[in-house]
Structure 1
């Protein structure tokens, strides 16, 4: 199983998955240890926010762990059968290991940028 993790600094799980260009690709080796399989350091036009093509390196992952993602990003990856999980866990290895062990990941608080709500309508009279 390939787990992509948004990580602009290649150290921690970072937010804004759609604009992220750096990803750690984690998985288990033959000994069952969680290891870094690859790193993606993509040009700006390959961020999912900009990408319009058919085949993207993230589509080869089974799961993507991130600190935040918009609904468009989540839908796009789901179309490619990549599960997107938002978490407040900052350690990529701890998050990936917890996911692989079937343990729940700490949830993120909803933020104003990604939270969808109906507009507030003015009251007349």
Structure 2
């Protein structure tokens, strides 16, 4: 099972605003096995899930679980189309968040993130605008 963690600060902390996260740790986990070494993926601006148009292969395609500190509803729906489930956590250490998911432990509650709130407002206005134009 491939699990990706949105990170910041040189892959050292779980990042908020998953749609804008450039640095990802991708783990190819096997149940009952030790955690593997992660693949470090640095996305270009065009590859950021927030901007990506699904017109080409993406380095995060095939990931089944995406871990982040925050994500907007539009991002979560977009990742569902990719076949990935988004898991949000207040845990700041990527490996601890991953270990908790692998062992079925509860994750720390998410922290408030202003950028996610702004994205939710933008998603809401986009939805309303689309309804008005219909």
Distance in 2 (alpha carbons) for counterparts of 1:88 and 1:62: 20
In the other structure, the counterpart of 2:53 is 52
Tell me the secondary structure at the aligned position of residue 85 of structure 1: strand
**Which of 65, 68, 71 is the aligned partner of 2:67?**
65
Question: TM-score, length-normalised on structure 2?
Answer: 0.77
Q: Following superposition, which runs of at least 4 residues in structure 1 exceed 4 angstroms of deviation?
A: 115-118
Root-mean-square deviation over aligned CA pairs: 2.1
Question: TM-score, length-normalised on structure 1?
Answer: 0.82
Structure 1: give runs of 5+ residues left out of the alignment.
119-125
In the other structure, the counterpart of 1:21 is 22
**Paired positions, count:** 118
Q: Are 1:18 and 1:48, in contact at CA under 8 Å, matched by a contact in 2?
A: yes
Structure 1 or 2, whichever has the larger Rg, is 1
In the other structure, the counterpart of 1:12 is 13
Q: Are 1:4 and 1:63, in contact at CA under 8 Å, matched by a contact in 2?
A: yes
For residues 11-30 of structure 1, give each alpha carbon's deviation from its aligned partner in whole angstroms, at most 9, with x where no partner exists: 11111100111100123369
Relative to its length, the structure with more helix (as a share) is: 2
In the other structure, the counterpart of 2:3 is 3
Structure 2: give runs of 5+ residues left out of the alignment.
125-134
